[in-house]
Structure 1
Amino acid sequence: MSVPDSEQLIKIAVILETTVSELLVTKVENEEEPDRLAKELSRINTQLAIRNHRMRHVLKIIAVALLVFVALIFAIMALNYAPMSQSKYTKRDAALLLSNRTDVISVSISCDDERETITDKREIDDLFANLSTVRIKSGESYNDAPMTDKFIKIIFEVSDGLSGCTVYVFEDENGFFIEQPYNGIFSIEEKQYAEIFGTFF
Structure 2
Amino acid sequence: MDRQKSIRIIAIIIFLTVIAMVFFLLMNKETYSLNLPKTEEVTRIMISTDTVKKEVTSIEEIKDIIYVLEGNERTTKKESINDSPVNAETPIKIEFHFQQNGGSILYIYTQRNQYYLEQPYNGVYRISGDEYNSIAKYVL
Question: Fold conserved (TM > 0.5)?
Answer: yes
CA 1:171–1:138 in structure 2 vs 1: closer, same or farther (change >3 Å)?
A: farther
What is the percent sequence identity of the aligned residues? 31
Which structure dedicates a bigger proportion of its chain to strand? 2
1:156 matched residue in structure 2: 96
Residues 85 and 107 in structure 2, CA contact (< 8 A), matched pair in contact too: yes
1:187 matched residue in structure 2: 126
- Choose which of 105, 110, 116 in structure 2 pairs with 1:166: 105
Correspondence 1:110 to 2:44: no
Task: Tell me which of the two structures has the higher relative contact order, counting C-alpha pairs closer than 8 angstroms and 6 or more residues apart.
Answer: 2
Distance between the aligned counterparts of 1:193 and 1:182, measured in 2?
Answer: 21
Unaligned runs of 5+ in 1: 1-90
- 1:150 maps to a residue whose letter is T
Q: What TM-score does the superposition give when structure 2 sets the normalisation length?
A: 0.70
What SS does structure 2 have at the residue aligned with 1:150? strand
Q: What do you get for the CA RMSD once the two structures are aligned?
A: 2.1
Q: What TM-score does the superposition give when structure 1 sets the normalisation length?
A: 0.50
2:33 matched residue in structure 1: 95
Which structure dedicates a bigger proportion of its chain to helix? 1
- 2:44 maps to a residue whose letter is S
- Choose which of 74, 82, 85 in structure 2 pairs with 1:143: 82
After superposition, residues 7-156 of structure 1 pair within 5 angstroms as: 94-133=32-71, 135-147=74-86, 148-156=88-96
Kindly report structure 1 stretches of 4+ aligned residues shifted beyond 2 Å. 91-95, 198-201
Residues 89 and 110 in structure 2, CA contact (< 8 A), matched pair in contact too: no
Greater Rg over alpha carbons, structure: 1
Count of residue pairs brought into register by the alignment: 110
Write the deviation string for residues 134-161 of structure 1: whole angstroms up to 9, x where unpaired. Answer: 5043410101111125111000001111
Distance between the aligned counterparts of 1:144 and 1:179, measured in 2?
Answer: 10
CA 1:146–1:117 in structure 2 vs 1: closer, same or farther (change >3 Å)?
A: same
Unaligned runs of 5+ in 2: 1-28
